[in-house]
Chain A
């Protein structure tokens, strides 16, 4: 660790007063490398044991293609819905007071804290044709459990806290004077909301939606029960990985995982760019 410390000494901008640089950074890199980085790099090494053609056939198999549509499409839709309701929830929790508000505020994190398997069986039972909600929906001819609609519901469930918790602190931090300034300049309440309050909310809203999206794409436990997992209908991409693994097709599983990671990465990159653009005025 001494050599690591001296390696960084050359880059140091100012002398380090605080102790423990070598130890803390050394352990951090060692642990992260061992647990996360080296294993993850295995994905790309393992995929390369297949020929390009095999990889292509695996990742473009119609069943797999359909799972992309389900996973990415529904995750995107869920993120949009979460964006809308998340903003509303955050606004109501910050600005209004009503009985039970503190309890609800605390419960917003439930999807984050509740184990996914529990969420999965609960949502599935609620929306099954004989479930508390599913029964009434089935009278209307709406089927939720074992359909893409069920997947969407599960993804909305797990995404809720992400948007609320990124938007909420920004609303809390709003300077009351800015709203008053807008009003004294003749703007009505709606104009104030659209022109003054909304623009600073867009970057955190996008961040929250991106987090919800990323979580939704990779989600397994809470979706797998309600999805029904019917080929070409309600299979998600993580399930395709699991199916390949169960058949001991490690390389194929890895190829699909690689595609998933690349698409997620590209989408997050787009959202980050969009976010940077929408908060350009923050720069000094």
Chain B
């Protein structure tokens, strides 16, 4: 899923009619694809909103404004508000180091940044249990000082940060690699300082990739389930994020309420996709203008 902004290409011209498949084959392929995507994407999407509103607007409104729901929403925003800026700064630093300099072990570093994608989110939760849990390395000393990390807000924030570490970096690295250093070097020869180069040259060049990375990071941070589930202890009204709240409601057969909460996250996902699509078309347009 790397570098979506960096790999946008101009439109392809399919001039030669002789290169096309027979019409019946085209129709069959399009049909199969529509069926597959309809079954796997459209139908679930419809289902979320249908179920959320199946008992009317009043029930929907009550479900998302009930106190446990509101505290779940607050906690989700809180964790996201810490995780996203931290990972944004990390992503910028990592992309700068990797794309502007040559150093030994660069390839290993790139792989390490991807690690949180490669391991199960459950493992992401587990590792913090090992450190801060009651039997963990710092567990007893933290308990003595009355600090609780796991089964509490800090644990949830840590889990959220862990699973979203790679997002901004993965978007920026291929983008900055493809853009090269010419403009930055030009700015340096004109006497700009390091921070001036960064703010005035690099940031404007990568703004769309940066925005896209942040949007993805935000979406995942708000929706993370596995890692947060392990670390939360499921204390209702205290350590439940929106996804965890959905789980509890669903398991208690409060299906409508569960889908009402789910519809909020689904809306977030759709907004994320919308922003992604508009960024893509904007970048494609800019590139076309450059060409012509």
Q: Which residues of A contact B (CB under 8 A)?
A: 8, 11-14, 16-21, 23-25, 27-29, 31-32, 35-37, 39-40, 42-43, 46, 85, 88-89, 91-96, 98, 102, 104, 106-123, 125-126, 132-133, 156-157, 160-162, 165, 169, 172-173, 176, 179-180, 183, 189, 211, 214-215, 217-221, 225, 237-238, 241-242, 245, 248, 250, 253-254, 257, 260-261, 264, 268
Asked whether A218 lies within 8 Å of B122 as measured between CB atoms, the reply is: yes
Known: A92-B33, A161-B1. A114 touches B101 (CB 8 A): no
Asked whether B130 lies within 8 Å of A85 as measured between CB atoms, the reply is: no
Q: Is the interface of A mostly helix, strand, loop or mixed?
A: helix
Q: Give the chain B neighbours of A183 by CB distance below 8 A.
A: 18-19
Asked whether A19 lies within 8 Å of B258 as measured between CB atoms, the reply is: no
Kindly supply a per-residue 1/0 record for chain B positions 160-187, scoring 1 wherever the CB is within 8 Å of any chain A CB and 0 otherwise: 0110010000000000000001001100
Asked whether B255 lies within 8 Å of A125 as measured between CB atoms, the reply is: yes
Q: Give the chain A neighbours of B37 by CB distance below 8 A.
A: 89, 104, 107-108
**Residue B140 at the A interface, CB < 8 A?**
no
Asked whether B1 lies within 8 Å of A257 as measured between CB atoms, the reply is: no
Q: Which residues of B contact A (CB under 8 A)?
A: 1, 4, 7, 9, 12-16, 18-19, 21-22, 26, 29-30, 32-34, 36-37, 39-45, 47-48, 51, 86, 89-90, 93-94, 96-97, 100-104, 109, 112-113, 115-123, 126-131, 133-137, 158, 161-162, 165, 181, 184-185, 188, 193-194, 197-198, 216, 219, 222-226, 229-230, 242-244, 246-247, 250, 255, 258-259, 262, 265-266, 268-270, 272-274, 276-277
Beyond A12-B103, A237-B120: 5 further Cβ-contacts under 8 Å? A19-B188, A96-B30, A133-B43, A160-B41, A215-B117
Asked whether A115 lies within 8 Å of B90 as measured between CB atoms, the reply is: no
- Smallest CB gap from A23: residue in B: B93
Q: Give the chain A neighbours of B230 by CB distance below 8 A.
A: 242, 245
A23 to chain B, nearest CB (A): 7
